[in-house]
Amino acid sequence: MSWTPQTAAPATAPGDGDLPLGDVLVADRLVPAQGPDVPCPAAALVAGELSRRGARPVRGALRLPAPPGAGAGEGGAHRSGAEGAVHDGGYTAVVAGSDPPRGLGAARTAAAAPGEKGERAVREAVDSWLAVAGTARTVLLAAPRSFCAGVERAIEVVERVLEQRGSPVYVRKQIVHNTHVVSGLEARGAVFVDELDEVPEGATVVFSAHGVAPQVHRQAAERGLRVVDAACPLVTKVHAEARRFASRGDTVVLIGHDGHEEVEGTLGEAPESTVLVETPEDVAALEVADPDRVAYLTQTTLAVDETAAVVDALRARFPAVRGPASDDICYATTNRQDALDAIAGESDVVLVVGSANSSNSVRLVELAERRGTPAHLVDDTGEIRPEWLAGVYTVGLTAGASAPPGLVEEVITALGGLGPVTVHEREVARETVHFALPSAALRS
Ligand code: SF4
């Protein structure tokens, strides 16, 4: 598909005269002089690229007057079926030809003179997306993806406590590892703290889905805090196993990632008896009091295949090793990995929606890479980079267990602004798991 640049008179966007110097209006809707408005589904992609180039994008509608000489009904630069870029001193606009017409994206600098940094950023940002637009793509959508039962429960706990007790409600650590979830709850009155000494005595504090060590519960009691524990029941199950193994005199080998909050909580159940390993090499270096009294547990969000290699190493070194009655890697982690495994090989690139500190999201990226497909973790649509889509016809798409489903929809919508998109969902399992709320969250 070819793209023919067109020229037009300078745009006058409603309100864009009020833009502070240096801000860039990124249009999520073009308002032509005549004819219907043109949506710009890819606006988030353009805005993200502008941010990376140091500009300050703000989203809004951009009014485009008819170019000089445009006939009545032609709708200026973006009449139906037109393709091209509109360049002028202060702005760049691109419109994808389609029926109905869609804008790829459009941007206008505020009071930026030609040649200024802001205007260059606008042109470069829009052109970088233009370079990968116009290609028909397939999105292979992994299912299950996004929120699991433990995450939904933890978020609902905070929402319930906010409703019942009002703001502020303190939450120790991120309730789940997702920046959008955290900022959304912050906007509603949740206050996220790292440690309990930041919580006023007598206040209400919610513990995160990742679970806490018994020591944290003791600290809360000493400070007279009202605790609502949103730990996922599947993490609580691992804590109970740690206590059970340790109480019968086993060395408990916890397979997990050093420093992760869930691991810190599980280690705290029996700190004298528990050792942490991450790899088969760690197992080889283990020293235990009695090789016949060894048990293992795992973090809930590990890679299934990598963990199997560590368990194999444990069994080879300690033939009498005991494990949990059922897998500690939870159903949601396993299902999301299986679902991605089903599409990774057919994808030219894999996008995983999730935050960088989300263990199960990072594992999904690593899994796709082990299958030989380039993969990228994005917090949202704005973090997708145009170069990732160069020469790409099939995009594998999934989301970690802590990423809101709406963010995945936004990615699909934005990709549709680059050209026609066909979505195929591949479901490998149907999830029906639901966890009841803790009783402390139900009390008013
Ligand atoms: S990923 Fe698994 S362990 Fe973690 S909150 Fe979800 S269901 Fe619970």
323 assigned to some structural domain: no
176 assigned to some structural domain: yes
The CA distance from 120 to 114, in Å, is 8
Per-residue confidence band for 88, with pLDDT thresholds at 50, 70 and 90: very low
322 assigned to some structural domain: no
Q: Is 150 in the pocket of ligand 1 (CB under 6 A)?
A: yes
For 200-256, the DSSP string reads: PTT-EEEEPTT---HHHHHHHHHTT-EEEE---HHHHHHHHHHHHHHHTTPEEEEES
Q: Is 255 in the pocket of ligand 1 (CB under 6 A)?
A: no
Assess whether 313 and 357 both reside in one domain: no
Pick the range with the lowest mean pLDDT from 55-64, 226-235, 307-316: 55-64
Assess whether 120 and 47 both reside in one domain: yes
Q: Cα(310) to centroid of ligand 1, in Å? A: 21
Tell me what pLDDT residue 157 has: 98
Q: How many helices (H) and strands (E) does the chain have?
A: 13, 19
Assess whether 294 and 342 both reside in one domain: no
Assess whether 23 and 128 both reside in one domain: yes
Assess whether 43 and 154 both reside in one domain: no
Q: E strands of 354-406, at which residues?
A: 375-378, 394-399
Question: Which residue from 176, 235, 297 has its CB within 8 A of the most atoms of ligand 1, so it is best to mutate?
Answer: 235
For residue 200, what is the domain's CATH number?
3.40.50.11270
| Domain interval for residue 34 | 6-132
Strand partners, 126: none
The CA distance from 70 to 56, in Å, is 32
Q: Of the candidates 132, 161, 188, which is a domain's last residue?
A: 132
Assess whether 349 and 363 both reside in one domain: yes
Question: Which residue from 153, 175, 210, 300 has its CB within 8 A of the most atoms of ligand 1, so it is best to mutate?
Answer: 300
Tell me what pLDDT residue 73 has: 32
For residue 355, what is the domain's CATH number?
3.40.1010.20
Per-residue confidence band for 81, with pLDDT thresholds at 50, 70 and 90: very low
Tell me what pLDDT residue 386 has: 96
Tell me what pLDDT residue 38 has: 81
Assess whether 115 and 20 both reside in one domain: yes
Q: Of the candidates 132, 166, 200, which is a domain's last residue?
A: 132
Per-residue pLDDT tens digits for 334-387: 999 999 999 999 999 999 999 999 999 999 999 999 999 999 999 999 999 999
200 assigned to some structural domain: yes
Assess whether 123 and 241 both reside in one domain: no
For the annotated binding site for [4Fe-4S] cluster, the residues are 148, 232, 330
The CA-atom distances, in angstroms, between 123 and each of 94, 114, 131 are 10, 11, 12
Tell me what pLDDT residue 207 has: 98
Tell me what pLDDT residue 366 has: 98
Q: Indicate if the pLDDT at residue 75 is higher than 90.
A: no
325 assigned to some structural domain: no
For the annotated binding site, the residues are 148, 177, 210, 232, 260, 300, 330, 358-360, 402
* % residues pLDDT > 70 (the chain): 82
- What atom of ligand 1 comes closest to residue 149's alpha carbon? 7
383 assigned to some structural domain: yes
Average pLDDT over residues 308-337: 96
Assess whether 123 and 47 both reside in one domain: yes
Domain count for the chain:
4
Q: Of the candidates 317, 346, 375, which is a domain's last residue?
A: 317
Per-residue pLDDT tens digits for 227-262: 999 999 999 999 999 999 999 999 999 999 999 999
DSSP β-ladder status, 375-378 and 394-399: unpaired
Q: Indicate if the pLDDT at residue 68 is higher than 70.
A: no
The CA distance from 110 to 119, in Å, is 9
Assess whether 64 and 82 both reside in one domain: yes
Assess whether 153 and 127 both reside in one domain: no
386 assigned to some structural domain: yes
Pick the range with the lowest mean pLDDT from 31-45, 249-263, 418-432: 31-45
**Is the C-alpha dihedral spanning 417, 372, 305, 360 positive or negative?**
negative
Q: Indicate if the pLDDT at residue 110 is higher than 50.
A: no
Assess whether 86 and 114 both reside in one domain: yes
Q: Indicate if the pLDDT at residue 106 is higher than 60.
A: yes
106 assigned to some structural domain: yes
- End-to-end, the C-alpha distance of the chain in Å comes to 61
